[in-house]
Amino acid sequence: MTIELTGGEAIARMISLYNPGPIYGMGGFQLLPFYDAARRIGLKHYLINDERAGIFAADAYAKISGRVGLADATLGPGATNLVTGLVEALNAGTPMVVLVGDSHREHSWKNMTQESRQTEILRPAVKELLRIEMISRIPELVRRAFAVATSGRPGPVVIDVPEDISHGVFEFEDRDFYAVAAHEAIPALRCRPERAPLEKAAGMLADARTPIILAGGGVHLSAAADTLTAFSEALNIPVAHTLSGKGAIACTSGLNAGLFGRYDRIANKLIEESDLIFVVGCKLGEIATKRFTVPPRGKTIIHLDLLAEEFGRTTDCAIALWGDVGATIAELNDMLAPRAAEIRARQTGYAADVVKRMDAWRQDVSPRLNSDETPVSMARMLTELNKALPDDGILIADGGFAAHWGGLLFDTKKPGRAFVPDRGFASIGYGVPAAIGARATSPTRPIFAITGDGGFNMMLGELETARRLKLDFTIIVVNNAASGYIKALQHLMYGAEGYHASDLEETDYAKIGEAMGVTGIRVESPDRLEGAIRQAMTAKGPVIMDVVVTRDPAKMLPGVDNRTVKVKKGDRIA
């Protein structure tokens, strides 16, 4: 049976076959037939106020749900506004399919309004760019977009749709429209390393006396947090994590060694003392390695990753295990099962020492975690969030120091991704739109997002989006009247005379929230934190919790990592 459809409707029908979540975007003439079909067939499409917000919302939805994030934009400025979010998704391994309208091919390069060489601009920012040149190929190319987005290391795929393709008509066959269910979510396919290196790795893990696992965001891309937790507990091996890997095992577990790298609790010392390091789904980038100094040279490393290009990129490894995290850890667990009881018993003292060290760290930094200072200490704010958020709570962390403070101090209470930082590109402005996307993953989970005042200023317009969509979540604006990360680094390098272009005007963001029709709560002292958080959790609609935090640049970066920072003029800090 044949059916005559516009190209736009064919795209909408294909996307609907993948049981999609919301599409975030801002329309343009080129894709009007797609929007019309989306309305008629029931696809959820949410209008946003800035394309960057739409791509961030889709990114957060995909990070939390594991399903493909969807966004769209018109040609020219709409398309180029996507670049930052696309690079975030590319670097973070976020599965996304993004529609972009383009100029009518018959009129291209005749000074068409808003026309640009957008495919050339977008191509380096995505895993694959698919330009539709024939209406008849729409079903095939949409299937390919979902396949590429979810297979191997996930990533964003752009479908570039010329105006004449979207508005044109073609007589399709019914059989053209089908989806591959495996490509609705990640991981679409799982692969495992060869037997020989696996057996060697298992033997090394069995014989190690002070092994440690370093878990990255790849654990979540593989939906393997429960698998890794079972492996860690079976053998009494502690787990440290990156910012993106938080939740690889619960932060409240006795085997959790916390964040490692630039900021840490006890993990860097454990890594230094370890006789075997098992890197799992982690790229070992600059932040995780403290500018490539952690782990120290000469350490024995087993590296498990789905992307072969990561092996040896920053740190040499004794064994490279190329495969899916979940499938590989499960196989290692089976291999080590006959010796698991023996290994676990032998490691009991080591595991107990991790708990002892973590308790000592908490006691050491307790004055800062429970600080009564005014303006509010970031450490105290995170302490109150840890107390108030239930097991299923989600914390979004904007770029900059919001992510570093959250990564160091926020405690996930069960395995899984409940801490969502934008560490693929670490752009600021992620907090508000990411909370919008996060809400689409669950109607009931409490959602908080921490954003600096600078990042919040970028996305004020999306409060209208959240209010219009009647979304319940809380944005904590870390109000220090500064571009805090930069001002703190200027302080470290140049002292009080060195501040330049890093101060913002004092602003009451709670009043701004109220003016935009949402709940505004101003917190100026630490004794108000608990009540404000609980008020926010019971409020309907978006909440702006404006927390006035320290103005002292010496306290703006996470100081509870026990580092002693010594900087001479001319030293490079990052």
Share of the chain above pLDDT 70, in %: 97
Residue 485 has a pLDDT of: 84
Residue 493 has a pLDDT of: 86
Written as one string, the DSSP assignment of 263-318 is S-SSHHHHHHH-SEEEEES----TTTTTTTTSSPTT--EEEEES-GGGTTSSS--S
Residue 89's pLDDT band (boundaries 50, 70, 90)? very high
Q: Which fold has domain 370-561?
A: Rossmann fold (3.40.50)
* d(C-alpha 218, C-alpha 172), whole Å: 40
Summarised one tens digit per residue, pLDDT across range 551-566 is 998 888 886 543 444 4
The CA–CA distances, whole Å, from 178 to 2, 139, 174, 264, 537 equal 14, 8, 9, 48, 42
Residue 570 has a pLDDT of: 42
The pLDDT of 525-536, averaged and rounded, is 98
Summarised one tens digit per residue, pLDDT across range 368-395 is 999 999 999 999 999 999 999 999 999 9
Q: Mean pLDDT, the chain, as a whole number? A: 95
Summarised one tens digit per residue, pLDDT across range 19-49 is 999 999 998 999 999 999 999 999 999 999 9
* d(C-alpha 95, C-alpha 128), whole Å: 11
Summarised one tens digit per residue, pLDDT across range 227-263 is 999 999 999 999 999 999 999 999 999 999 999 999 9
Summarised one tens digit per residue, pLDDT across range 145-190 is 999 999 999 999 999 999 999 999 999 999 999 999 999 999 999 9
The pLDDT of 84-88, averaged and rounded, is 98
Residue 559 has a pLDDT of: 65
Ramachandran class of 60: left when φ > 0, alpha when ψ lies in -120 to 50, beta otherwise: alpha
Residue 574's pLDDT band (boundaries 50, 70, 90)? very low
CATH for 2-184, options being 1.10.3470.10, 3.10.180.10, 3.40.50.261, 3.40.50.970: 3.40.50.970
CATH (residue range 195-356): 3.40.50.1220
**Cα-Cα end-to-end distance for the chain:** 62
**Contact yes or no for 529/384 (Cβ under 8 A):** yes
Please compute Rg for the chain using Cα positions.
24
Cite the residue boundaries of each domain of the chain with CATH code 3.40.50.1220: 195-356
Q: Which of 415, 438, 431 is nearest to 215 (CA)?
A: 415
* d(C-alpha 539, C-alpha 522), whole Å: 15
* d(C-alpha 428, C-alpha 411), whole Å: 22
| CA 571 to centroid of chain Cα atoms | 31
Cite the residue boundaries of each domain of the chain with CATH code 3.40.50.970: 2-184, 370-561
pTM, rounded to two decimals: 0.95
